[in-house]
Structure 1
Amino acid sequence: MTPEGKMLLNIVILGFGFMFMFTAFQTCGNIEQTVIKSFNSTEFHGSGYTSMAIIYGVFSASNLIAPSVVTVIGPQLSMFFSGLLYSGYIAMFIYPYTWSFYTASVLVGVGAAVLWTAQGNVLAINSTDNTIGRNSGIFWALLQFSLFFGNLYIYFSWHGHVHITDKDRQTVFISLTVISLVGCFLFFLIRKPDRQPSPSEVTESLLQAESIESVESSPRPGLCSQALDAFLQGCKIFVTREMLLLSTSIGYTGLELTFYSGVYGTCIGAMTGFGKDAKSLIGISGIFIGIGEILGGGVFGMLNKSQRFGRNPVVLLGLVTHFVAFYLIFLNIASDAPLAPEAGTDQQAYITPSVAVAMLCSFLLGLGDSCFNTQLLSIIGLMFRENSAPAFAVFKFIQSITAALAFFYSNYLLLHWQLLILVVAGFLGSMSFFVADWFAESARRQSDYDSI
């Protein structure tokens, strides 16, 4: 197999591993608030929104040490052990207790930071300047198949169920735990790539030829030194002009991640205007989000491969798509739906509740999310190739801290206030991305000119 073919195979395996893991975890996140509302126990007093806020809060803090962990034990083992923590969180719902619920939330927050930092590292080292966009799209499309399969299972399992029984809950979460473990073990199939050096790397190696002997004779840095260096690199990347510009766009993806993965499904399940199948519609909503994500990841990956279109038009499409979705949700979903009890809300918004409109909005949320994330993965992998692990750790740090903030305010804010925050953040994030992309393209053209 050619080196490029081997790298592509690694990306595909990476995508399938994440697909299995997040078939379990994203389905879990989509239904957990609804499950908790249906769980009657004097020993359990948890909140799904609070749990997700803890996960993303710990996630953001753990990104400070994640590059060091990946540097010391390698991306493959990092993803495997992090995946086990995800599986433990899902398994906790089989017999939930308040203490185990929040303890598992803390642990999966740590695991998430290491997992996504390692993922970014694997994506970068298995890509070249010409394939980073394509590989980002392939990975994103495979990852988002998780929304399709998991939520399809939820729909058939809960169809016609007004109340979620203990047996319903246990059956679902045992299945999800097994699926998550399958994804963990897939990571062991990833092999170290045989990368072909780029012209700039060849030039650099020639310039350094005179110092090879001295480098080989010097002592290799210890693990602590490597870990400290990875941490310092992350701090340096965080304050670069490009990353500061991208931080607003990254922060927006954290806010809308919270909305489509946790809040919107809960809103649909709380709408009595959707009839007795409102709970099972949570699964259908997740399927339509997944279809949008898969379509976006595939199409925009191909656009990046052709290099005929830049990143800015894709981000602009994502912004417009999300604005349309937010407006339709504002018209279709009652403002108190995120905070409604298990019995749901009898309130209506500005139109008669429509299942078709709700599912259209789910599709648009997924499509817009893929627009932003594929382009952010592409531009960060391109700009920080030599320090990909710290760069992706910074990316996830910013994204997760805004997601934690959003899950926190989701406990208190009505729907229309949450939508207003998303609109403002989406506009500002898109504008800052356009400026960052302009700087990135200017730097690339200057580098090409210097090479000539």
Structure 2
Amino acid sequence: MRISLGDSFSHITANTLIIGFAFLCLYSAFNAVANTSELVLNSYQSTHADAGFGQGFGYTTLMLFNIFFALGPFVTPFLVRVLLDKISLLVASVSFVLYAASFLKPNVYALYVSTSISGVCTSLLWAAGFNLITVSCPTEYLEVNTSLFWLIAQFSYLFGNGVLFFTFYEVDLISDNTRYLTMSILTVSAIIGTCLFCLAKQPYTSEKLSQRVSKGFKTSVDTVKETVLLLRDFKALFLIVPYIFTGIYQSFFMGVYGACVGQTMYFKNDAYWLAGISGIFVGIGQITAACGRICWSKLVIHTKSKQQEHESKGSLQLFCVSTGFCVACVCFLLMYLFLPDDSPNQKTDEISVFTPNQPIAVLCSFLLGFSDCLFQTEIFSFIGSNFKEATPSAMAMFSFFQAIGGILVFFYTNHLHFGLRLHIYIMAVGSLLTLAVFCIIVNIGEDTSTERDDEKAVKNLKVTEASVLTEKNGIEMENGTANGHGIERTANKETDVSVV
């Protein structure tokens, strides 16, 4: 089933819209819960002394999520193959419902279990979702379908954190009633997302369960092998740095920055409210950067020469990464100047260089989302253009090392009690190294492409010369054969005359 939305969005499939809005509902719940998990659990512990949550328990749950998310890419090929796409989506979405519902009445063991399951199921959700979109539309319309899906999903930052905007307004402590209201709305959102997956259509397959199990196992084993073999490629090795950095960066603004704003007591009753609105502006930054990148790519001059086209694509990647680096540096400077150093770990009245400022805190959220989108999209673009034959393995490698970055963030925040300034130093170094890596691999890629084009040109020239030489020899042989027959006929005539 296809839905026509004009020339620009023709051939949008119903599955694309269903999966896109389902992701919007699921991640509205997940992002909002993850963004405020530390604040919610700290408030719960302060009013329930026997809860058993230590300081930083919210960070511990997010670290556990990333540990299981790191294992997901190597398990999900088997699960998707066996369960098929639609059932995989339903199973994964149920884990999101459990994760949000576990905060209705927080329990240590329930949070451990729901977080661990949702870590694996997040990878399953994305793998099954993209696969179902891929098989539901023609190849020539895949890009517009995946772009629309991604755009719809990004609005989850706005809707989920919009709930926090209203329920946390002028709240100095997250009470039981406030928590019930907030988490109930977010749990219902996740349930709606799960129900939407029931409307998706699974393409028919004639494979039996036993066949799917054997093929799924083989696919998972092949993914692991190909990922290990991919480490022989110098580009893949260099990309480990951006992978880890984006994992650190994304985990910071999803799990730590909201706590920094919410635990800055200078904001008084607006602190929790600001944590919610910060999440909204992270989403606005993501969407703005994505739209800007699309518009800029349209302005890049496309030439008929493949080499010039490759160079323009490389320059676009460097431009976007450089812009992301500059925006991130501005954000780091503002956070350093306006937010207290110990805000990630506890409520604080401390003042940094300048007094905390609400518009600056919101602006930093926008800059975090904007720069993150630029980093992430260029990584995806580079993987797609340089690892076409090993895209699943390259994406598995990306997810694994990005999860490692997330684990590191929540480990040194909770267990090593790193302050905000140490976070800023780490991210600043990571962003600089990411820029350096892209400068290296893009330039080397262009040199390699030039060498390949030169080799192809030389090879084509040799083939042309060989064909011309062969044709020339053939003509000479034909002429020689014709001359031979003529001489033979003349000799025969002379013989006949002598005999007479």
Return the TM-score normalized by structure 2.
0.76
How far does residue 297 in structure 1 lie from its aligned partner after superposition? Answer: 2.0
User: Please, which of 53, 59, 82 is the counterpart of residue 45 of structure 1?
Assistant: 53
Matched ranges for 1:16-415 at <5 A: 16-39=21-44, 40-41=47-48, 42-45=50-53, 47-121=57-131, 137-190=147-200, 223-237=213-227, 238-241=230-233, 242-304=235-297, 308=301, 310-340=316-346, 344-411=347-414, 412-415=417-420
Shift of 1:245: 2.5
The offset of 1:383, in angstroms, is: 3.8
- Judged with a 3 Å threshold, the aligned counterparts in structure 2 of structure 1 residues 80 and 389 are, in CA distance, closer, same or farther, namely farther
Task: Supply the AA of the counterpart residue of 2:409.
Answer: A
CA distance in 2, matches of 1:128, 1:430: 36
| Partner Cα distance (2:133, 2:232) in 1 | 22
Q: What residue is the counterpart of 1:417 in the other structure?
A: 422
Deviation at 1:386, TM superposition (A): 4.9
1:246/1:432 contact within 8 Å kept: yes
Task: Provide Cα deviations, 1:309-355, integer angstroms capped at 9, x if missing partner.
Answer: 62221122111111110111011101010111xxx211100012111
* Distance in 2 between residues matched to 1:191 and 1:385, nearest whole Å: 28
Q: Gaps (5+ residues) in structure 1? A: 194-219
The Cα shift of 1:443 comes to 7.3
Count, aligned residues = 423
Map Cα deviations across residues 28-70 of structure 1 (whole Å, 9 max, x no partner): 0111111111103203325100000000011112322122222
Inter-partner Cα distance in structure 2 for 1:449 and 1:73? 46
Q: CA deviation at 1:367?
A: 0.3
Cα separation, partners in 2 of 1:226 and 1:277, compared to 1, 3 Å: closer
- What is the root-mean-square deviation of aligned Cα atoms in Å? 3.1
Residues 355 and 441 from structure 1, CA distance in 2 versus in 1: closer, same or farther, beyond 3 angstroms?
same
Q: Tell whether the 8 Å contact from 2:77 to 2:219 is kept in structure 1 after alignment.
A: no
Q: Is the 8 A contact 2:19 2:197 kept in 1?
A: yes
Contact 1:141–1:293 under 8 Å retained in 2: no
- Per-residue deviation, 1:442: 6.9
CA 1:428 to 1:441, structure 2 compared with 1: closer, same or farther past 3 Å?
same
Following superposition, the deviation at residue 288 of structure 1 comes to 1.1
Seen in structure 2, the aligned counterparts of structure 1 residues 57 and 224 have a Cα distance that, compared at 3 Å, is same
The answer to whether the Cα contact below 8 Å between 1:92 and 1:101 also exists between their aligned partners in 2 is yes
Which secondary structure does the structure 2 equivalent of 1:301 belong to? helix
Compared CA separation, residues 297 and 136, structure 1 to 2 (3 A): farther
> Where does residue 205 of structure 1 map in the other structure?
none
CA-to-aligned-CA distance 1:79-106 (integer Å, 9 cap, x gap):
3211111111111111111111111111
**Structure 2 gap segments, 5+ residues each:** 204-209, 302-312, 461-500
**Cα distance change on mapping 1:448 and 1:183 into 2, 3 Å:** farther
Q: Alpha carbons of 1:187 and 1:382: their partners in 2 closer, same or farther (altered >3 Å)?
A: farther
Match of 1:183, as an amino acid? G
Q: Name the counterpart of 2:495.
A: none
Amino acid at match of 2:52: F
CA change 1:131–1:422 in 2 (3 A) is: farther
Measured at CA, do residues 448 and 369 of structure 1 come closer, stay the same or move farther in structure 2, by a change above 3 Å? farther
Shift of 1:112: 1.6
Give the direction of change, closer, same or farther, for the CA distance of 1:401–1:279 in structure 2 (3 Å limit): same
Give me the whole-angstrom Cα distance separating, in 2, the residues matched to 1:108 and 1:119.
15
| Mapped contact 2:74–2:223 kept (Cα < 8 A) | no
Aligned residue identity for 2:345: L
Kindly indicate whether the alpha-carbon contact (under 8 Å) linking 2:33 and 2:100 is maintained by their aligned counterparts in 1: yes
Output the amino acid matched with 2:427: L
Give the alignment partner of residue 433 of structure 1, picking from 438, 447, 451.
438
Whole-Å separation in 2 of the counterparts to 1:124 and 1:379:
20
- Kindly tell me: are residues 37 and 234 of structure 1, through their superposed partners in 2, closer, same or farther at Cα, counting changes over 3 Å? same
SS of structure 2 residue aligned to 1:177: helix
Give 1 or 2 for the bigger CA radius of gyration: 2
Percent identical pairs in the alignment equals 29
Of the two structures, which has the highest relative contact order with CA contacts closer than 8 Å and spacing of 6 or more? 1
* Residue type at the aligned position of 2:66: Y
Is the 1:75–1:122 Cα contact (8 Å) retained in structure 2? yes
What is the TM-score with the length of structure 1 in the denominator?
Answer: 0.84
Change (3 A) 1:291 1:339: same
- Residue 249 to residue 134, structure 1, CA distance change in 2 (3 Å): farther
CA separation of 1:67 and 1:226: change in aligned 2, threshold 3 A: closer
Q: Partner letter of residue 228 of structure 1?
A: K
